[in-house]
Structures are given as structure tokens and as C-alpha cells.
Homo-oligomer: A and B are copies of this chain.
């Protein structure tokens, strides 16, 4: 037998999984639309020049595509699969200078990274982003928080906290402890606080050249002491939080966290992160303001931009683990059996009536031996079977049976269909 395999680090999304994912994405899309974020898609690949312009650490993880024709035979590459949705967004903004601003788009598409595959980590995975391009209004920042809040609430992932911080506050803290040149060190160390605790952070800082008194001062800021030079950023965060509360965000689910850093070279202002309470480490959403990046292709210095990414693969996984979405092994509601060739037409007509009533129906391709047909239905998780034997066919009726309760109804197909609506 010929052997075939999936490419390393990839997976097929079979119907039971897809039903689940489509339902989750539909919920998220609705929230995005409520805030005016409209769907966009970009090609799977980009020109290699586009991807390597700003790719940095992702460049070695990129899947490269050979040129077609002669060049490809020589190993020349002209395109690569996208590794995020932000580079394509920056390209779209640069190529469409007349697009009305602010441009608010959502994008739910796969990206590809030639990462070492791990449990729950794939080389093809979906990202789910919203971004507002072209305004510095704090409303845009607040909407990021509100969208994450509303999406997680709508999904039933209600035990979350959205942490908020400002990159300028981190800079001011580093300056105030006399470690301006160590800003990156401080941010990187603080980023690990959740994992290693204050002791671990302090150890790292001291190894990297800070002293104990600098660390002590840092902890006072983390604990809430006023940060010299930080007043404006604090006010900005306060405004954003107030606006988010106006948008219906629950005050208990959002907090300022002076340790939040969200990576390094990208964000220029407020940063956000959503974490679940309990034993779930890592964030399920993150984002912030990044006024320097979008202009990279347009040649403009600063194009204001703010966005968040919902960790949709993680959300699928967690919801599955937490039993938050009922498993959807099948969306088929009724398995229409075929009693015999003679009654086949009657069964098909009943199936047609049920479909017209809005019901999802699968017709058995097996004829006779009803027990086997019931087993087919049961094995796939289809809740109801429909039987149309000679008597029913003659009377113009069908029998609809609930496979788990055994309850059954007899009557014309369109009438028994009403049981399911």
C-alpha cells in the first residue's frame, strides 16, 4: 500500500473540528463587525522583498517559494508564505494611499512558520487580528480592549483579565532607576515575572549589570509609586480605561499592570494582554499601539496604528478542554433511512421537505436493514432517524425517532419537521 503523510507540523481539520472552529469564528466576526472592523484577506504569499524588509527573527522561519521556470531551476526564490498578518496589512496600506482613514480591518487567515513542531503548535495556524490604522484617538486603543472583552465574553471564556500598560512608562521606570541604557534588559526581565517571580527577575537584572538598590527602586514603581516622567502616559492609560468602561467593559476585568511589556521592538504606546484566571499560563490575546511599523512601506515617518490579536488557536484548544462549546460531531440533524427501493422516492421526498424547513438531513446510501442504518446514524452522532416504510409511504407519512430518548413522532414530513425547529 502506498504510504502518504501530512507535511511535518501540519494537520487536517476534520469536520468535527471544523464545525467547532467555524462556530467560534462566527462569534468573533460578529463582535468585530459590531465595532466597525470589516473583513479583509490577503494572498498566502508575498514577494520576498516585502517579507524580509522587517521580518527580523521570523525570517529564518519563513517558507520560501521557488521562482517558476528557469530561475527556480537555479534555486532562486521570489516569494514566501506570510508569517503574520501585520506585514500584509502594512503593504495594503502603502499600496492604497486613498483608503479612507481610520482604516479598521479584521483578518482571520492562516500563517506559516517553519517552527519546530510541538504539542499544540503547528507550522500552519490561524491568526485573528483587528487593527485601526490612521488615528491616534484613544477611542481606537479602548476599542481594542472592548473587542477582546466582548469576544471573550461571547465565547464564554469569562474568567479573564485584560492587563494594560504603556511602553513609555517602562522607559520612564528604567530612566528613573538610572538604567536608561538598560531599558531593553529591564523590559525583558520583567516580561518573565509571571514565570520566575521577583527573585528571578532581580537575579537576571543583577547578572546584567544592575545593582540591588536599582532593583529595590524598581519594585517601588511596580508597587505603585509615582514614576517620574510617567504622568502623561498614566493619564493616557486612564483615558483609555475610562473609554473602555463607557464601551461596556467590566471594570473588574481590566487593570493597569506596570510589568506588562509584550515583546520588544514594535510597540510605541499602550500595550494590552488578556490572560485567563487559573492554571492557564500565557496570554490569549495581545496587542498595542505601534505607530512606527505601518509606515515602513509608505515611506511615511509615523502612521498611527493600534491593534490586537486574538490567540484563536489557543482559544479553540482551551474551549475544547474546558468543554465550553458543545462538541459538534456533525451538523446533520436527521438521518433519512431507505426502507427499500420501492419507498426510496418517498424517503427522498421527505428529506426534501425537511431541508425546505431548514433542517440538515443526510440520506442513507444503504438500503434495507434498518438496524444497520440506525447504527450508521448513531455512530456519527446524528440525533434523529426518519423511517418511511411501505405503510408510511402509502399514507404519506414518516416516522421520526429520537435515537437517544426513543421518542417518536408519526405524520407528514413537514409536520414532524416542526419537532426539530
Contact = CB atoms under 8 A, between A and B. Distances in A.
A2 B301 CA distance: 12
A102 interface: yes
Given A33-B360, A34-B359, A124 B43 contact: yes
Contact of A355 (B14, B34, B137, B330): B34
A256 interface: no
A348 B43 contact: no
- Integer count of this chain's copies in the complex: 2
Contacts of A356: 248
Task: Place the interface of chain A in its size category.
Answer: 35 or more
B41 A95 contact: no
A361 B19 CA distance: 28
B65 A63 contact: yes
Interface string A356-370: 100111110110000
B91 A4 contact: yes
Interface in A288-326: 296-299
Nearest to A338: B139
A246 B38 contact: no
Given A38-B330, A65-B63, A365-B137, A47 B7 contact: yes
Interface stretch (A74-82, A171-179, A397-405, A409-417): A74-82
Contact of A66 (B5, B39, B64): B64
Nearest to A124: B43
Contacts of A6: 43, 47, 91, 95
Interface in A78-110: 78-79, 81, 88, 91-92, 94-96, 100, 102, 104-105, 110
Contacts of A299: 1-2
A38 B19 contact: yes
A135 interface: yes
Interface in A1-35: 1-2, 4-7, 10-15, 18-19, 22, 33-35
Contacts of A78: 7
Given A102-B365, A246-B349, A379-B100, A18 B35 contact: no
Interface in A326-356: 330-332, 338, 344-345, 348-349, 351-352, 355-356
Name the residue among A2, A42, A75, A96 with the largest chain B CB count within 10 angstroms: A2
A34 B360 contact: yes
A88 B6 CA distance: 9
Nearest to A335: B36
Contact of A360 (B36, B344, B351): B36
Nearest to A36: B362
B7 A79 contact: yes
A65 B64 CA distance: 6
A198 B179 CA distance: 86
A361 B139 contact: no
Nearest to A134: B365
A221 interface: no
A94 B143 CA distance: 47
6 contacts: A12-B40, A65-B66, A139-B348, A140-B365, A243-B345, A247-B352
The 3 residue pairs across chains A and B that have the minimum distance between CB atoms: A75-B75, A36-B362, A1-B299
Interface of A: 1-2, 4-7, 10-15, 18-19, 22, 33-36, 38-47, 49-50, 53, 63-66, 68, 72, 74-75, 77-79, 81, 88, 91-92, 94-96, 100, 102, 104-105, 110, 112, 114, 124, 132, 135, 137, 139-140, 143, 150, 242-243, 246-248, 296-299, 330-332, 338, 344-345, 348-349, 351-352, 355-356, 359-363, 365-366, 376, 379-380
